[in-house]
Structure 1
Amino acid sequence: EIAIAATIPSLLFMFALYMSIHYYAMKHKIGGLPRHELPRFRDVMKEGGHLLLPLIFLILFLLWLPSLSLAAFLSIIIALVIPNIVKTTRVNYRTVLEKLIEAAKTIIMISIIIVACDIANAVLVQTGLGLTITRILTMLVKENPLAGLGLTAAGDWVIGLILPTTACYILSAALFAPPLIAGGFDPLAVHLFIYYFAMMAPLTPPVAIPVFVACSIAERAGYKTDFWKAMWYGTAFGALGYIIPFVFMFDPSLLILGAEPGLKLGYDVVQILARTLFTGFATLLLVATIFGFYVKPLNIFERIITGVASALLYIPDLTYTWNFIGCAVGLATYLYLKIVAKPKLITRIPAS
Structure 2
Amino acid sequence: MILKRDAAFVQWIITGLAICLSFFVLYYAVFGSVIAMKQRAIVLLLSFVLCFLIYPAVKKQQERLSIVDVLLVMLSVAVTVYIVIHFESFILRAGSTTTMDMIMGSAAIFLVLESARRTIGWALPLIALFFMLYATFGHYLPGMFGHNGYSFSRMIHHLYLTTEGIFGTALGVAATFVFLFILFGAFLERSGASKYFMDLAISLTGKSKGGPAKISIFASGLMGSISGSSIANVVGTGTFTIPLMKKIGYKPTYAAAVEASASTGGQIMPPIMGASAFIMAEMLGVPYMDIVVAAILPAILYYLSLYMNVHLEAAKIGLEGIPEAQIPKFRKIFFQGLPFLAPMAMIFIVLFTGASPMKAAYIGIFVLLAASLIKKSSRMNVKTLVSSLKDAAVTSVSIVSATACAGMIIGVVSLTGLGLKFTDFVISFAQGHILIGLILTMVASIVLGMSLPTVATYIVLSVLTAPALEQLGVPIFAAHLFILYFGVFADITPPVALASYAASGIAKCSPMAASFKTLRVALIGFLIPFLFVYFPALLWQGSIIEIIIATVTAILAIIAIAASLNGYFIAKTTWLQRILLLASGGMLIVSEWITDVIGLIVLVFVYGWQRYQKNH
TM-score by length of 1: 0.85
Aligned residues, how many? 327
Decide whether the 8 Å contact of 2:419 with 2:464 is kept in 1: yes
- The structure with more radius of gyration: 2
How many angstroms apart in 2 are the aligned matches of 1:99 and 1:205? Answer: 34
SS of corresponding position for 1:247 = helix
**2:552 aligned residue:** 277
Deviation at 1:131, TM superposition (A): 4.8
**1:43 aligned residue:** 332
Corresponding residue to 2:523 among 220, 227, 239 = 239
SS of corresponding position for 1:42 = helix
**Closer/same/farther in 2, CA of residues 99 and 215 from structure 1, 3 Å limit:** farther
SS of corresponding position for 2:337 = helix
How many angstroms apart in 1 are the aligned matches of 2:411 and 2:337? Answer: 49
Q: Describe how 1:126-145 pairs up with structure 2 within 5 A.
A: 130-145=419-434
**RMSD of equivalent CA atoms:** 2.3
**Closer/same/farther in 2, CA of residues 333 and 65 from structure 1, 3 Å limit:** closer
**1:306 aligned residue:** 581
**Closer/same/farther in 2, CA of residues 187 and 65 from structure 1, 3 Å limit:** closer
Decide whether the 8 Å contact of 1:247 with 1:316 is kept in 2: no
**Closer/same/farther in 2, CA of residues 325 and 140 from structure 1, 3 Å limit:** farther
Which ranges in structure 2 are unaligned for 5 or more consecutive residues?
1-289
Deviation at 1:343, TM superposition (A): 6.4
Deviation at 1:248, TM superposition (A): 1.6
**Closer/same/farther in 2, CA of residues 90 and 343 from structure 1, 3 Å limit:** farther
Decide whether the 8 Å contact of 1:247 with 1:315 is kept in 2: no
Corresponding residue to 1:256 among 527, 540, 547 = 540
Deviation at 1:207, TM superposition (A): 3.2
Deviation at 1:153, TM superposition (A): 0.8
SS of corresponding position for 2:372 = helix
Is the aligned partner of 1:5 residue 2:289? no
Decide whether the 8 Å contact of 1:27 with 1:293 is kept in 2: yes
How many angstroms apart in 1 are the aligned matches of 2:331 and 2:466? Answer: 49
Which ranges in structure 1 are unaligned for 5 or more consecutive residues?
219-223, 258-266, 345-352
Decide whether the 8 Å contact of 1:200 with 1:238 is kept in 2: no
Deviation at 1:32, TM superposition (A): 0.7
**1:162 aligned residue:** 451
Amino acid aligned to 1:231: S
Amino acid aligned to 1:334: Y
Decide whether the 8 Å contact of 2:470 with 2:476 is kept in 1: yes
Corresponding residue to 1:196 among 461, 465, 485 = 485
Greater RCO (CA < 8 Å, at least 6 residues apart): 1
Q: Deviations over 1:237-266 (max 9, x none)?
A: 322111111122122111113xxxxxxxxx
Is the aligned partner of 1:337 residue 2:602? no
Q: What is the percent sequence identity of the aligned residues? A: 30
Corresponding residue to 1:288 among 563, 582, 585 = 563
**1:21 aligned residue:** 310
**1:326 aligned residue:** 599
Bigger mean CA offset, 236-245 vs 133-142? 133-142
SS of corresponding position for 2:473 = coil
Q: Deviations over 1:42-70 (max 9, x none)?
A: 33234333222121122122223622101
Q: Deviations over 1:290-328 (max 9, x none)?
A: 2211111123332222112211111233xx222222221
Corresponding residue to 2:347 among 58, 78, 83 = 58
How many angstroms apart in 2 are the aligned matches of 1:292 and 1:270? Answer: 33
